[in-house]
Amino acid sequence: MTAADVLLAALGAVALGAGLLVVTTRHVVRAGLWLVVTLGAVAGLYLVLSAELLAWVQVLLYVGAVVVLLLFAVMLTRAPIGASDDLDRVRWPGALIGAGAGAGLVALFADAFHWSRVGLPAPGTAEAIGGAVFRTWVLPFELVSVLLLAALVGAIVVSRPDISAGPRSDSRPDPRGR
Amino acid sequence: MPVWLELILRVLVVVGAFLTLPLIVGQAEHKVMAHMQGRLGPMYAGAFHGWAQLVADGVKFVQKEDITPRAADRQVFRLAPVVALLPYLAVLLVIPLGPHGLVAQPLDVGLFFVLAVVGIGVIAVLMAAWSSANKYSLLGGLRAAAQLLGYELPFVLSAASVAMAAGTLSLSGIVEAWRPWWLLWQLPAMLIFFIAGLAEIRRPPFDMPIADSELVFGYLTEYTGLRFAFFLLAEYVGIVVIAALTTVLFLGGWKGPFDDQVGWLWTLLKMFAVAFVVIWLRVAYPRLREDQLQRLCWLVLVPLALLQLVLTAAVKVAL
């Protein structure tokens, strides 16, 4: 056991525990805050595995943006302080699917690697990742960019009724025949 | 020097900077505002030129009762000030003070780290706003979140421009690569970064989230005593961080005459000059209205930042 192993195990435990709290707590907003802890612990895992850039991307995008948007949306709609007893969770199917997927992944990895040791790859510096994305994987990268752009445009069209396509209910007056 | 001793020394220096620099900025704010606005209050405490005003403020905060509202979510309410303060402490770790590795923790992706960690501050604001169980707090928090999410974009884009120009994400590397003519080349980026930075730390004229004439004190309404002082301290550390980042990214950090010997002095001088401008703006400008604030971000700063990126790329390719 090296220090890195201990750190990995500890961070994994934190991520797992906080993740469990996300789905079991009865406080809606606190669930979001536990999600911050989970994602932060995962970023810590990346750091221990020397994927430095990925770790900070995780913090910037997931902690700084995604969770904030999530909390923002919850607070705009209904965010009571204290436990809400009327949360409808799909308890058993959810637990089954979650545990099943988890057990399946564990089995898959155990079967694939057994106890073989894999050395750490070269550190995920900005230069290495930049080179990989813009040299080797430039086509998939561009494809994803176009997909995201399409999603953006789609979101704007959907959210603005005045430019959306489809059958108009014609609240607009006809310019010629008055 | 053994490694652990050096490590402890570096951390101690950063904690020392964390404890003193914001206080200097706070004291400067008292004095500068007093002179600019003819305020008499801060000129009395301690007789000579009101030097003890900050001490008096500290004593006042410690004396006040620490109240947690009955309807509040106690744990979250109490945790929020700490969450507001910690990211800035982490940022101070990677800001280079002088040449030859005079930095607490040199980081290959320093700039990216800074941008990521500064973004965590929003969560503290949302925590404080929601857990206070007060409608003004919640409104202030939602304003703050909308503001921070919006201004994050020009903030990151303008920082990306200078990273592109320098060809590195390391803060020391950016200062090494900096040349005086960048002042002109990166001028729009510098202005955008500074304005977006002001909005990120919610300083006037971007203090809509705590607009005292309409929201009492926004997300800080329910905070008293030391916890309130923590938020105040976070604001001053924020000024230090934004000033330091503007210095390092756009003003050449430690570059100046005799920078081999007194590089750290140049960094500090430039930093305090920028901090002075931050204080000056608070005195000079009225608060932006919420719609003006969003308009400025999305219709002015973001397009300008994108144009600056194009300019940076064009010059970089041409050179």
DSSP A45: H
Identity of the residue numbered B67: I
Q: Which of B107, B131, B145 is the closest to A72 by Cβ?
A: B145
As a whole number of angstroms, the distance between CA B203 and CA B211 comes to 11
- At A127 the pLDDT is 79
Q: For residue B143, give the chain A residue with the closest CA.
A: A72
Extract long-range pairs of B211-215: CB within 8 Å, 24+ residues apart: B211/B140, B211/B287, B215/B136, B215/B139, B215/B140, B215/B143
- Compute CA distances A159 → A155, A162, A165, A169, whole Å: 6, 9, 12, 17
Nearest-CA distance A92 → chain B (Å)? 30
Number of domains in chain A: 2
Angle at B115 between CA B111 and CA B119, to 5 degrees: 165
Q: B-chain residues within 8 Å CB-CB of A31?
A: none
Are B126 and A68 an interchain contact pair (Cβ–Cβ within 8 Å)?
Answer: yes
**CA torsion sign, B83 to B84 to B88 to B89?**
negative
- CATH code, domain with A19: 1.20.120.1200
Alpha carbon of B81 to those of A81, A88, B63, B77: distances in Å? 19, 33, 18, 8
Is there a domain that residue A40 lies in? Answer: yes
> Could you write out the DSSP letters of every residue in B46-111?
TSGGGTTHHHHHHHHHHHS-----TTS-HHHHHHHHHHHHHHHHHHHHH---BTTTBSSS--TTHH
Residue A113 belongs to some domain of the structure? no
**Does some domain include residue A153?**
yes
Average pLDDT over residues B260-270: 82
Distances (CA, A) of B76 to A78, B5, B80, B233, B286: 17, 36, 6, 19, 33
d(CA B109, CA B116): 11
The alpha carbon torsion through A139, A144, A148, A154 (nearest 10 deg) reads 90
Tokens of A83: 């436990």
Q: Which residues in chain B have their CB less than 8 angstroms from residue A125's CB? A: 108-109
Q: Tell me, what DSSP letter sits at residue B44?
A: T
The answer as to whether A133 is a domain residue is yes
Report d(CA A41, CA A7) in Å as an integer.
10
The answer to whether residues A18 and A72 belong to one domain is yes
At residue B48, φ and ψ (nearest 5 deg) are -70, 110
Answer yes or no: are the C-beta atoms of B225 and B61 closer than 8 Å. yes
A76–B142 CB contact, under 8 Å: yes
Q: Mutate which of B93, B122, B168, B222 to test chain A, going by most A C-beta atoms within 10 A?
A: B122
Q: How many CB pairs under 8 A join A and B?
A: 80
What is the end-to-end Cα distance of chain B in Å, rounded?
A: 43
Q: What is the pLDDT of residues B107-128, one digit of tens each?
A: 778 888 888 888 888 888 888 8
Q: Which of A38, A71, A134 to mutate to test binding with chain B, by most B CBs within 10 Å of its CB?
A: A71
Residue of B112, B115, B146 with shortest CB distance to A126? B112
Q: What is the pLDDT along chain A (178 residues), one digit of tens a residue?
A: 677 788 888 999 999 899 888 888 888 888 888 898 999 999 998 888 888 888 888 888 888 888 888 888 888 887 777 777 777 777 788 889 988 998 999 999 888 887 787 777 777 777 788 888 888 889 999 999 999 999 999 988 888 877 765 555 555 555 554 4
The residues spanned by each domain of chain B are: 69-318
Report in angstroms the alpha-carbon separations of B307 from A27, B161, B163, B304: 45, 10, 15, 5
The helix/strand/coil state of A44 is helix
- Cα–Cα nearest to B89, from B268, B238, B266, B270: B238
Q: CB contact, 8 Å: A21 with chain B?
A: no
β-partners of residue B98 are: B102
Query: For residue B265, is pLDDT > 90?
Result: no
The interface predicted TM-score (ipTM) is: 0.79
Which of residues A27, A60, A83 is at a domain's end?
Answer: A83
A27: closest chain B residue by CA: B73
Smallest Cβ–Cβ distance between A75 and the set B119, B142, B149 belongs to B142
Is residue A17 exposed (0-12), middle (13-18) or buried (19+ Cβ within 10 Å)?
Answer: middle
Neighbours of B124 (CB within 10 A): 24
The 10s digit of each residue's pLDDT in B202-256 is: 888 888 878 778 888 878 888 887 888 888 888 888 899 999 999 988 888 788 7
Which residues from A are below 8 Å from B110, CB to CB?
A: none
Q: What percent of chain B has pLDDT over 70?
A: 98
Q: What is the pLDDT of residues B147-167, one digit of tens each?
A: 888 888 899 899 989 988 888
**Cα dihedral sign for B254, B256, B260, B265?**
negative
Are A79 and A4 in a shared domain? yes
Is A118 a member of any domain? no
Q: Which residue from B minimizes the CA distance to A75?
A: B130
Give the type of residue at B48. Answer: F
A64 touches chain B (CB under 8 A): yes
Other CB atoms within 10 Å distance of the CB of residue B61:
17
Is-contact B254 B177, C-beta < 8 A? no
Check if the beta carbon of residue B106 is closer than 8 Å to that of residue B173. no
Residues A130, A72 within the same domain: no
| Residue-range definition of the domain harbouring residue A34 | 1-83
Q: How many helices (H) and strands (E) does chain B have?
A: 14, 0
Least Cα distance to B81 among B203, B240, B232, B236 occurs for B232
**Geometric angle at alpha carbon B110, from B255 and A8, rounded to 5°:** 155
The residue out of A49, A83, A117 marking a domain boundary is A83
Which chain B residues are within 8 Å of A57, Cβ to Cβ? 112, 116
Instruction: Tell me what pLDDT residue A169 has.
Output: 52
Among A83, A98, A117, the domain-final residue is: A83
If we measure between CA atoms, which residue out of A22, A32, A18 comes closest to residue A67? A32
Would you state the pLDDT for residue A177?
47
Which residues in B have their CB inside 8 Å of a CB on A?
71-73, 76, 107-109, 112-113, 115-117, 119-120, 122-123, 126-127, 129-131, 133, 138, 141-142, 145-146, 148-149, 152, 169
For B280, the token pair is: 């000056």
> From the centroid of its chain, how far is CA B173?
22
So what's the pLDDT on residue B132? 84
The beta-carbon contacts of A86-91 under 8 Å, at least 24 apart in sequence, are: A87/A26, A87/A28, A89/A23
Is B91 exposed, middle or buried, given 0-12, 13-18 or 19+ CB atoms closer than 10 A?
buried
The first and second tokens of residue A57, run together, are: 């991307």
Contacting A residues, span 98-157, partner chain B, CB-CB under 8 Å: 125-126
